[in-house]
Amino acid sequence: MHPDTMAVHVGEEPALAPSSLVPPIYQTSVFTFKDLYTAADVTGGTGAGYSYTRIGQPNADMFAAAVAALEGAPAAAVAASGMAAILAALVAAREGRPVAAADEIYGGSVALLDGFLGPLGVTCLRFDAHDPASLPKDAGAVLVESASNPLGRLSDLEALADAAHRAGARLIVDNTFPTPYLCRPHEHGADIVVHSVTKFLAGHGDVTLGVLTGDEEMVRRSQAALTTFGATPDPFACWLAQRGLRTFGVRMERAVANARGVARFLGEHESVLRVHHASVPGHKDQELARRFLSGEGPAILAFDLEDEAAAARFIERLRLIRYAPSLGDVSTIVLHPATTSHRQLARSEQERLGILPGTIRLSLGIERLEDLTAELGHALA
């Protein structure tokens, strides 16, 4: 099936109510048993069924099956958030060895590595994802983003996978920006793919959830970490995410087209210094976009205004587009990375990575393009 069709149908068969058109919500913290031996088998992992929602529940399994199918992976595990999914993936993959992370990653991932894992004794190294040869040779887990936050820079996933595997490491790819609509990193050598489901997969700004996909062993180890940490998801959140996934294809089609149109509009505006999107003529990642993103740029773009004061004026003049510290919603959302998503970085480090005081990140929704360009034109005037 086409991925758009899979998003509607895969995983929709409820485990306990097969005649229901819409999967029910199993809003329970625990499941009951009729006898001692069945309970022993299920809780011991040798029998099918559910015992305690922190350990597993039908709504999580249904959503996991859908995302695994979309990513072309054997298995998936659902986490309470995207950050929980990243943490579980790192625990499962590194096997006591250092973690290597790309320079250009989400600020929350930087905080996880440097602020928490580092003090716990985990060696955290950084490297340039655009130069696979810079990958540390002693890493056990390698974390990169298929399109970086916030500038949407692309990397050669196949070269990174090859470098990681030659070092005996596993490649973890955060695929939140492109989503499987544009990119399926397992097809290019990734061992684990993670998502903040909160964003495009759920798509409606009402869920906090994460997911990771991989082979059976990696997912089993990740699931064990999630269960032990207590970072497993709520049934209702899983149900909402699966409902959102049903419109995934049509939402992404419109959002990606809007990003392309808005990038063109911004590139022609006199107040905009630079547009960061792979669809922009002459963008340095156009060839990588053809190889890894179906020839498109993601539904996220960034652009540079003169300075922070100009960015603040632009944001204050917005009427339709909302300012919010997230992305991937049906509505278009704007963000100032230097003071929000990447505030953990020193200003010098932000600027080294291309995040300037006047940089704005724009997550495109499903509105009509002409309304978005009119809104942006008003705010930039």
To the query of whether residue 199 is one of the catalytic residues in this protein, the response is yes
From residue 15, alpha-carbon distances to 47, 59, 83, 239 in Å are 15, 9, 28, 13
Annotated active-site residue in 184, 199, 221, 254: 199
SS3 230: coil
Triad 223, 174, 9: Cα angle to 5°: 70
Q: Which of 106, 153, 191, 234 is catalytic?
A: 106
List of residues 6+ apart from 255 with CB closer than 8 A: 200, 299, 364, 365, 366
Q: Write down the catalytic residue from 61, 156, 174, 234.
A: 174
Strands (E), the chain: 75-79, 99-102, 124-127, 141-145, 170-174, 192-196, 210-214, 274-276, 300-304, 322-323, 333-335, 359-363
181 is catalytic: no
Q: What residue ranges in 185-225 does DSSP mark as E strands? A: 192-196, 210-214
Give the separation between CA 290 and CA 343, rounded to whole angstroms: 32
Q: Is 52 a catalytic residue?
A: no
SS3 118: coil
Check if 291 is active-site: no
β-strand pairing of 141-145 with 170-174: parallel
The enclosing H or E element of 166 equals helix 157-166
Residues marked active site are found at 54, 106, 174, 199
